[in-house]
Structure 1
Amino acid sequence: MIRRFCMVAVACLLAGCAQQDAEESLTRTEELRESLDLNVQRFMLQAEAAWRQGNYLHALALTDSVEKYVPELADTYFLRGRIYTDLNQLEIANAAYATALAADEQYRGAHMNIGINYFRRGQLRDAIDAFRREEAVMPNTHLYLEMGRTYAKLGMADSAQWSYEQSIMIDSTNTTAYMWLGQLHEEMGDFETAIALSKRAAKIRPESVDYRYVIGTQLLRMGEVEEAVAQLRMVVEERQWHHGAQYNLGQALMRLGEEDEAEIHLALAEEAQQIQQDINEAHEAVNRDPSDVQNWLHLSEVHRKAGMYDRALDAYKRAIAIIPNDLRMHVNLASLMLESGDTDGAIAQYRMIVDRDPSLTDAWLNLGVAYGNAERYDEARQAWEMTIRLDPDNRTARNNLNTLARMASEG
């Protein structure tokens, strides 16, 4: 029997790490890596781990430690670029990548990441120039994918097509390249080629909802309405607030004469459009001022309301990076993790909080909920008993303990 308990509402990092042929000489960075002190290696590994966990300020502090030991190590500045990119501080990120290139002009990935940040800022010509510089260092499937997207945005369809085809030539499993090339053909009016490419991508990644949406939309535009409905139904089952899927499904059902059901999906499309507008406005606020913690918290909340928990968590972690010592925010992050279904992650987060401040009642209460959801009932009981020691009048903890007692008596 499922029981529910009550709670308080609230790839390899380094671009140059590919194995080299024996006959090739090492780059300056690769030579330095081979001679790094063990302490420096540990700092770099800890910095990467902190970055991946969203502990951005700690990661930056660790890169400072590495720089003191080995100021000429390009890896340090490359990681800083990635951290500042995640924090949406793109100018600082590109300056860090430029420092990596000053230390090692052949550093792989730095020019490409500079180009991606230029793309995000709308500096498309500068992005192409950066991608071309990366091409001289190390052509790769992701580079040509980004190059194709940029050319497409510039309206240079032939160059975009060539870039996507280069990406696929290097990696025939690059599903994004198939999809973007298919969308390019769709924009040119070649629907048969477009849908063939989209289906190729979906065959490689049949679990992708995004690919089903693209295929459903293309089928609708081709007049294959019943097939389109089948694809789009699967999309809205998983993503209720997908505006395009709801709207196109409503339109397809109208064509089939299913007017009552069509109206339901068109109404949902209107709600989804408002949600998407809220998300867009939140993104714009973050872009205007990425140092304002409230902007990140709002971005997290609008994604949470839309059921986009991965993005909600990402935005919340970036808010915490601005004020990392606010344990109340860590409690809310753990609660968001628990709401998203990441029970193990929530438990680890709550444990970290109560270890740092054992007086936080809400953390103990919600830790008990997380243990209860994981069916670790003895640990749940201990957490709720601790809650009551801190707050003898806490009715939620007492109710949860009573629930455990009934469960035990029922066997």
Structure 2
Amino acid sequence: MDNEQDTQNSGSSNNTFPLHFVSREEMREPDPADGQAWTDRGNNAAANEDYETAAECFERAVAADPEDARARYNLALAQQYLGDTELAIAGYRRAIDLDPNLIDSYINLGNLYGEIGMYEESLETFQQGLELDPQSDELYLSVGDTYRLQNLYRDAIQAYRQALMLNPDNTLAADNLRDVRERVNDQYRRMMEQERRIDEDPADPTRYAELASIQLDMHRYDEALSLANQMIALDPQGRAGYDMLAAVYEQMGDAEQAAEIYQRIANQHPEDPDVWEKLGFWRSLQDRTNEAIVAYERAVELDAQRTTARFSLAEAYLEADRYADALPIYQNMVDTGEGLLQDDDLAAAFAGLAEAYNSLGRHDEAMRVSHQLLERFEDDPEGYYQLAVAYDGLNRPNDAIENYLNAIDADPLNADYYNDLADTLLTEKRYDEALEYAQQAIAMDPSLTVAYETLAQVYDALGRGDEAEEARIQARELRSATGA
């Protein structure tokens, strides 16, 4: 019987969810290869709220049996108690990969995603949990809270109602439902007040714009689109209606329509760099990289100091394999950015410059830039990653492995880091370690096609041909689905 221990999620208000440490047997003196003994010792430490010791014990349990999903889960839970959110997320994802029926992993993982603002991943995780346990009022409560954080009140109401149907005594669901109702009522009051203002002057397009903004807040897209079109009808030559139309499509995530509207605005107002930059963004989302480059180039031409457009242009050049074109943009930002760029932007410029050098095969220069980045911004994950790539390119695998590990420590959520580390470990014939990191890459991003290809190569090296073929089939299916 598993012991249960509940706590409140420190990163989420009005939301309590269970954190269960898994215990199986009584404590006994652990042996290095005895995962069960380390699990029991970890549970004992957790019961005494010594989570650092618990984490150390669960790490030993994982080392003893890397395929033990519950050991992974327990380690992630201890890391969650210690505030190591990203490490905990990585651990829960691996636990789910090993045991897709471990329902508590979905609950804790979804809540952690919500804590760091990854709401789409949070909702996806909760929905996966509900497929396993459709009667969980706790999961519906978490779904409602996630929707509420995004101001998706109608969806939140439905989730809270479902939680209460399953458990009428769920007081948090009842309280949060009342809170959402108040917010919805306030939105309706604002909407009716703006409707009255339009009635006072139906020919004023700006009043429609304010009402459309309220409708957008309420995620009532059809109404907002209708209002934007009314603005265009009232002032066909004006820009406000088209700006509102673009804003609606942006919030809807409709890349095709958003790009079409921004193209129209750019044609009418060709001297506006902001419009060209937004057009470039939506063209990028359409995978129309060359058109995105043209738009970004125009934005930079109109405003050479426009940092976001310069970054986007350099990234688009990298996407198009135009590394030599990306290089001077990043170099200029590195040379002139001190005191002008925010620290995050300056670090990104160094990382982009190192990536451009690595892509050009100029690994010594990539190393130099990566070291400069790490000297200025200690433990920057991209600094370690680009350094590792450079070492790989220079055939220094041990140094590459060390820096891939450093990158993972700094950013445990980046699936590419795990996959590239697995690839290097594979070349060094460290097959068991390569298998672990390839599987972790897939756990972090199940859509990462190259990770399945790496996994297949590892299985081939281990003589596990059937599993290698299964991994290749998954890779082919992903490539077919994405058109890659």
TM-score (norm 1): 0.48
TM-score (norm 2): 0.42
Instruction: Work out which structure has the larger RCO, using CA pairs closer than 8 Å and 6 or more positions apart in sequence.
Output: 1
